[in-house]
Amino acid sequence: MENSDRYIRMIQWREKHIGQRQFILILSVIVGFMCSVAANILKGIIHFIQNFVTESASSFELNYWYLVFPSVGILLASLFVRYIVKDDISHGVTRILYAISQRKSILKLHNTWSSLVGSSLTIGFGGSVGAEAPIVLTGSAIGSNLGKFFKMDQKTLMLLVGCGAAGAIGGIFKAPIAGLVFTLEVLMLDMTMASVVPILLASVTATTFTYIFAGSAFMFNFSHYQPFVVERIPQFIILGIVCGIVSLYFTRGMMKAENFFKRIKKPVWKLVAAGSILSILIFVFPPLYGEGYNTIEALINGDAYQVMDNSVFLNFGGGIWIMVIYLVFIVLFKVLATAATNGAGGVGGIFAPSLFLGSITGFVVATLINMTGFDASPVNFSLAGMSGVMSAVMHAPLTGIFLIAELTGSYSLFMALMIVSTVSYLTIIVFEKHSLYAMRLAEKGELLTHNKDKAVLTLMKMENVIETDLQILSPDMSLGELVKVISKSRRNIFPVVDSDSQRLQGIVLLDEVRNIMFRPELYNRFTVRKLMISPPATIQQNLTMEKVMQIFEDTGAWNLPVVDEHQRYVGYVSKSKIFSTYRHVLVHFSDE
């Protein structure tokens, strides 16, 4: 009780002495710092496990240990999730989008640490995924729970979730601008200047502390690149198209592979199937082990043949064509390796895989162009390819451009990055309307978008607009009994419901009975069953508001009954109620 009183007094003191805007700025700095700490802890644990695994296998033929370690990591991660977390923590960014659109921006407390542990075990032992989506979920959960602790409203919680996501990107990549644009593009928050400042502050704070913790060196260092010239624009356009196609393959391949693993219901068989596939793929293609950043480093520093170390492909010689075929196979099988990692119970994201695929795609395209007699820089193309694939997979060209520029310090290649990212993005949106993150939610109508009308409808909930104060009629009621009900009601619509099954039978409209309701001689002649009519349509209780509005538009009705999956009557919904709720939500989230 004493602690509760102190907590309430603290909240009251804050509300009295610190203004809302100033306090949000303070919270954004705190969120940024905590995101930096979390990002560096995650990277530290992953590197510790990877070093332990490498040293343990150093006296053996390393390839054969690739058959064991990834499955061990996935097993440990799946056991951790199943028996300790007891909640789904996969698809981190998708879970953030769902929380924003469907859970009032509330993320569970365990999300502040569970993804760190799960992804550390998965990636440290060689799972073919990235650590960035888990850290973004961690950062967003930090922001959400910090806001909830200080009793912030829903709009502020959404902002703090964005601060956490931006801080996570800034903290793990040392990329403050990419953190900001990621929040605007991928999380699709319709931001104003009042909200951009806290997000940028969180991102800059996280990046600053990562500089303090880990040094100011760029994540990827390279030495040789060609300055941008106009004559190479056609080459970059070709690369952009190829990146878009690779991204489309990755997006659709991931969805199909994940659906395949979902159909395996028993966790043991799922682990055996996915773990076996992953281990075999890593055994044949060692670059699929872990995040793949060593491969990226080798390609942008001219050490391409290093990628083939410990590979069975070395038995076929070290020619350039063997190298190209080897890299193409890696691109093709990366989808299966990533899906198998998550499908077996591992925890990881698609940030690193998209960078990995982009680097290889750029290198292969540059190599093929050079074979035709033209001049293309493998370094430039690898960097631009990373930007292109990430932009298309995430449907976030600005994020791809700024992230690669900040990761590598290659600001002089901005034109190349912009061309490839834009063309790649334009290529994939021809085939896929939504990113891999958003696709699952878009199918259910649960995705928040930049379209203001759709965004507000997504935030609205069906239960908030259902009216239950209408007088219910029985089919066997006489006209006389109906008149008594009408005399006590303020509505002109009356649902007719079977008393046994509670199913909706029809409706009675006041206008339809007005001409006979004042004739007492007819009171016992007519029953409600004879007077009722069918409604223009019925609305299922679990429909999204966007679909509900579409039904209203199609029927031209102003009031429609709501039923559950068994056609039992639930209530009524009216256009006027929806418009009133719409205006309330719009004002709340548009107010500065």
For residue range 403-443, what is the model confidence (pLDDT) as tens digits? 999 988 877 888 999 999 999 999 999 998 878 777 766 55
Pick the last residue of a domain from 430, 451, 472: 451
Pair (367, 493) in one structural domain: no
Pair (23, 158) in one structural domain: yes
pLDDT, residue 2, reads 64
pLDDT, residue 135, reads 93
User: What CATH number is attached to the domain comprising 585?
Assistant: 3.10.580.10
Q: Which residues of 13-44 are buried (b: 16+ CB within 10 A; e: fewer)?
A: eeeeeeeeeebbbebbbbbbbbbbbbbbbbbe
pLDDT, residue 452, reads 47
Per-residue pLDDT at 102 exceeds 90: no
Residues with Cβ within 8 Å of residue 434, at least 6 apart in sequence? 395, 442, 447
336: which 2 tokens? 């299966």
Pick the last residue of a domain from 185, 214, 243: 214
Pick the last residue of a domain from 451, 477, 507: 451
Tell me, yes or no, whether 547 lies in a domain: yes
304: which 2 tokens? 């391409």
pLDDT, residue 527, reads 86
82: which 2 tokens? 């199943």
pLDDT, residue 444, reads 54
Pair (118, 158) in one structural domain: yes
Q: Rounded to an integer, what distance in angstroms lies between the CA atom of residue 166 and that of residue 162?
A: 6
Mean pLDDT on 505-510: 86
The answer for 104, left when phi > 0, alpha when psi is -120 to 50, beta otherwise, is left
Q: How far is CA 469 from CA 241, 310, 394, in A?
A: 58, 72, 46
Whether residue 198 contacts residue 24, with contact meaning beta carbons closer than 8 Å, is answered with yes
Three-state DSSP class for 493?
strand
Q: Rounded to an integer, what distance in angstroms lies between the CA atom of residue 306 and that of residue 394?
A: 29
Q: Indicate the range of 242-246, 320-324, 545-549 predicted with least confidence.
A: 545-549
Of 324 and 489, the structure prediction assigns the larger pLDDT to 324
Pair (244, 188) in one structural domain: no
Tell me, yes or no, whether 220 lies in a domain: no
Pair (461, 390) in one structural domain: no
Three-state DSSP class for 478?
strand
Pair (464, 377) in one structural domain: no
Mean pLDDT on 457-462: 61
455: which 2 tokens? 């965004």
Of 515 and 138, the structure prediction assigns the larger pLDDT to 138
504: which 2 tokens? 């909706």
CA neighbor of 309 nearest in space, from 332, 285, 291 = 285
**The domain containing residue 52 runs over which residues?**
15-214
- How far separated are the first and last CA of the chain, in Å rounded? 37
Range among 26-40, 399-413, 478-492, 551-565 rated most confident? 26-40
Per-residue pLDDT at 123 exceeds 70: yes
Residues with Cβ within 8 Å of residue 455, at least 6 apart in sequence? 188, 190, 448, 449
pLDDT, residue 327, reads 92
pLDDT, residue 502, reads 87
Tell me, yes or no, whether 2 lies in a domain: no
pLDDT (tens digit, 9 = 90+) per residue, 256-288?
988 888 888 888 888 888 888 988 898 888 898
Residues with Cβ within 8 Å of residue 135, at least 6 apart in sequence? 35, 38, 39, 42, 115, 116, 119, 168, 171, 172
Place 113 in a pLDDT band, splitting at 50, 70 and 90. Answer: very high
Q: Which amino acid is present at 585?
A: V
Strand partners, 507: 495, 533
Place 306 in a pLDDT band, splitting at 50, 70 and 90. Answer: confident
Pair (500, 357) in one structural domain: no
Tell me, yes or no, whether 191 lies in a domain: yes
Q: Indicate the range of 373-387, 443-457, 509-523 predicted with least confidence.
A: 443-457
pLDDT (tens digit, 9 = 90+) per residue, 2-41?
677 788 888 888 888 888 889 999 999 999 999 999 999 9
Across the chain, mean pLDDT equals 84
CA neighbor of 400 nearest in space, from 366, 428, 430, 358 = 358
pLDDT, residue 60, reads 44
Of 362 and 438, the structure prediction assigns the larger pLDDT to 362
CA neighbor of 586 nearest in space, from 199, 105, 155 = 155
pLDDT, residue 359, reads 95
User: What CATH number is attached to the domain comprising 318?
Assistant: 1.10.3080.10
Pair (302, 427) in one structural domain: yes
pLDDT, residue 536, reads 86
Whether residue 81 contacts residue 103, with contact meaning beta carbons closer than 8 Å, is answered with no
Whether residue 531 contacts residue 513, with contact meaning beta carbons closer than 8 Å, is answered with yes
Mean pLDDT on 311-316: 67
Pair (445, 491) in one structural domain: no
